Amino acid sequence: MKVVILAGGRGTRLSEETHAIPKPMVGIGGRPIIWHIMSHYASYGYDDFVVACGYKGDVLKDYFATYRTRESDLHVDLTQGTVESLTQPHESWRVTLVDTGQHTMTGGRIKRLAHLLGERFLLTYGDGVSDVPIDALIGHHEAKHALATVTAVHPIPRWGALAVREGNVVGFEEKPEDPDTWINGGYFVIEPEVLDLIEGDHDGFEQQPLRLLADQGQLAAYQHTGFWRAMDTARDRDELNEIWSANAAAPWLGRR
């Protein structure tokens, strides 16, 4: 089963980095976030990736085109002009990188990959990491007999809360989570019939296609209460790096 990663957006709220690189190449612990996302899927055996490129897609292509050289020990013969790899990278991924346009919406990017997606596929965004169990996600999708399943997560709380009684503050709660609110956390399972609901480049996947599926009772939700973070801002990037620094076996890297 292929894993599609949407990696074409500009990431304007990380502009201090994304003026030069696409958002999925912003680093966590010295590696781009897209590597962390792929590592999670690969830990469950899903290592055939299709990357929907757009803004500065050449940076993504260069990264993967030179991955083996960068990750291996080399013997370089300057006289002969030859380079020999002495070791192999740990990863055995297959990565297909497709230019899906500079200004194409998320649905349009998926539609442009239709020729590569003849069967059920996994889908996520190139800026969010999670410890969602992929096998359980797929099992839920199959049990619901849906055309698509989205991983539903709680939004990340940004502010602490005050406990107020009779006009006085009687306590503090550090960034409380609302157990009744769920948002789209990515990490989809998609049947190929869903591609027919996307008209073209102007379609955002989160708008008409998902709404139509929901109206038809064909959009399941896998409710994940574990780790999930989207990297939308410099603050998010810094928090993810702090988590990495505190624990090199970061929760989003999957099974080890």
Residues of the chain below pLDDT 70: 159-162, 167-168, 170, 172-179, 248-249, 254-256
Contact 100, 114 (CB under 8 A): no
Instruction: Return the DSSP state at 213.
Output: H
| Beta strand extents in 63-127 (DSSP E only) | 74-77, 82-85, 94-99, 121-125
| pTM reported for the whole predicted model | 0.90
| pLDDT single digits (tens) 8-50 | 988 788 878 888 899 999 999 999 999 999 999 999 999 999 9
| pLDDT single digits (tens) 71-96 | 889 999 999 999 988 888 889 999 99
- What are the structure tokens assigned to 76, written together? 């370089």
148: helix, coil or strand? Answer: strand
Domains of the chain from N-terminus onward = 3-154+181-253 (3.90.550.10)
